[in-house]
Amino acid sequence: MAGKRNVAVLTGAGISAESGLGTFRGKEGIWNKMRPEELASMEGFMANPELVWEWYNYRRSVLAEAKPNPAHHALAKWESACPKFTLITQNVDGLHQMAGSKSVLELHGSIKINRCLSCAQESSDEPVRYEGKIPCCSCGGRLRPGVVWFGEMLPEAVLSQAFRASTECDLFLAVGTSAAVYPAASLPEIAFESGALTIEINLEHTPFTESAHFHLAAQAGLAVPALYHAWSHCNMTASNNT
């Protein structure tokens, strides 16, 4: 990793698994027990908003107890130490920001905000919660959780910054993502094809594993801090010598 000073990282649910949050796929995955079309789509919300709100309330209550783990903390330190560092996440949990990451490209939005279906206004401090009644905006429109659901477009500006960072970086890490959901899943491939050194950290193999230069079959909470230490050792030493 010596000399790699433009770093991009894509994280997925696996990075938050050691913080006690469930992942989506695999045997214990959320989508193995629940139906994404009911809980994470506009059609599902229109058909049964109470159910969708109850589920997001539940997730918010689990999240209220969750803390960032050593992988989140290592990425926050990496951002401060690296000349160019882009953190891209598919997670909506806000744990990167809680760990101290200042700039986070949230591809799938944030569970901590609500958005109005009528006026599109977003509210981020203390989002209104579902208490037996669908929450409403001051304009009278219904509120929905501020996450990206299946079939919806990703925030355009965020996505284009993520594409640019993946194209321009010289080191790309894919951490705890099944690389199954597009367009996020195309980012590691773009980085690989653009000539970056690509490292995947995942307990399992994914569709990206074949084209990653290295696959580290380890828990993110161990592997990410170890990689950060290795990176800072060779790059801080190199910059001290020049």
The footprint of ligand OAD (CB under 6 A) covers 12-14, 17-18, 23-26, 29, 40, 90, 108, 148, 176-178, 180-181, 201-204, 206, 219-220
Is residue 107 helix, strand or coil?
coil
DSSP 110-128: EEEEEEETTT--EE-SS--
User: Do residues 57 and 64 touch, judged by C-beta distance below 8 A?
Assistant: no
CB of 236 to ligand OAD, least distance (A): 26
CB of 140 to ligand OAD, least distance (A): 28
CB of 179 to ligand OAD, least distance (A): 7
Beta bridge partners of 122: 115
User: Do residues 127 and 114 touch, judged by C-beta distance below 8 A?
Assistant: yes
User: Do residues 199 and 209 touch, judged by C-beta distance below 8 A?
Assistant: no
User: What is the side-by-side order of every strand in the sheet holding 109-116?
Assistant: 122-123, 109-116, 143-147
| Rg of the chain taking only CA atoms, in angstroms | 19
Q: Which residue has the tokens 């099944």?
A: 178
Q: Which residue has the tokens 């539940």?
A: 58
For residue 188, the Cα-to-chain-centroid distance in whole angstroms is: 14
Spot the catalytic one: 108, 205, 213, 229: 108
CB of 138 to ligand OAD, least distance (A): 27
CB of 69 to ligand OAD, least distance (A): 9
Q: Which of 46, 53, 59, 54 is nearest to 117 (CA)?
A: 46
Tokens representing 37?
């079309």
To the query of whether residue 73 is one of the catalytic residues in this protein, the response is: no
Nearer to ligand OAD, 29 or 100 (CB): 29
Residues with a known catalytic role? 108
